[in-house]
Amino acid sequence: NAGVTQTPKFRVLKTGQSMTLLCAQDMNHEYMYWYRQDPGMGLRLIHYSVGEGTTAKGEVPDGYNVSRLKKQNFLLGLESAAPSQTSVYFCASSYSGRLSTEAFFGQGTRLTVV
Amino acid sequence: KQEVTQIPAALSVPEGENLVLNCSFTDSAIYNLQWFRQDPGKGLTSLLLIQSSQREQTSGRLNASLDKSSGRSTLYIAASQPGDSATYLCAVKAGTALIFGKGTTLSVSS
């Protein structure tokens, strides 16, 4: 009963380095999301996907790229990490973005950029 | 633009008290509202989901209400326990994704 799994759980990057965060869900959900959580700012939507092969920008997309090659996986990439990207990243999934269905979240990835 | 506000930002109560957490949103055109719990350093755990057509949902000691026309929801916690200490987040689904409030951090002392 895995639900939504994020990899890795912790990471320290140097400024300018790149990395990819992986989100995997085993609930056959169509919709997947990436959020970041910062103190005093709450959770903000970075990118989302409404199905395999589709992606769209959220509230704070700059500096990030995403891909949804398989329905169960949603990847978040940082091409050139900056200290402002230090945050906790959460992935979520749901059956549909429009219908009234419950969203499930992963345990988060704590990223520090030095 | 939909905005979600949670008041108070922090709350401290003694064990056994009944308490209410508030959530307000600016646009009543929502699909649903979801309450989450977040423990320090952990992910979000879904507590209750209220559809836009519903007035309330209950799960154990938790009861959430929704007044869509006034843009308000409340989370009622009965007989609070130290294990209820956490941050409680409210989120509305008004389009494709959830829009979150900044949360209420609850501390229940024994």
Among A33, A42, A92, select the one facing B101 at the smallest CB separation. A42
As a whole number, the mean pLDDT across chain A is 93
For residue B73, what pLDDT is reported? 98
Tell me how far apart the alpha carbons of residues B85 and B106 are, in angstroms, rounded to a whole number: 5
Answer for the pair A34, A74: CB distance below 8 angstroms, yes or no. Answer: yes
Mean pLDDT, chain B, whole residue set: 95
Confidence of residue A99 (pLDDT cuts 50, 70, 90): low
* pLDDT of B26 above 60: yes
Would you state the pLDDT for residue B1? 87
Residue to test with chain B: of A9, A36, A43, A68, most B Cβ within 10 A: A43
Beta partners for B5? B24
Share of chain A above pLDDT 90, in %: 86
Residues 30-49 of B with CB under 8 A from A: 31-32, 34, 36, 41-46, 49
Residue B96's pLDDT is what?
81
Query: What integer pLDDT is reported at residue A1 of this predicted model?
Result: 61
CA distance A50 to A96: 8
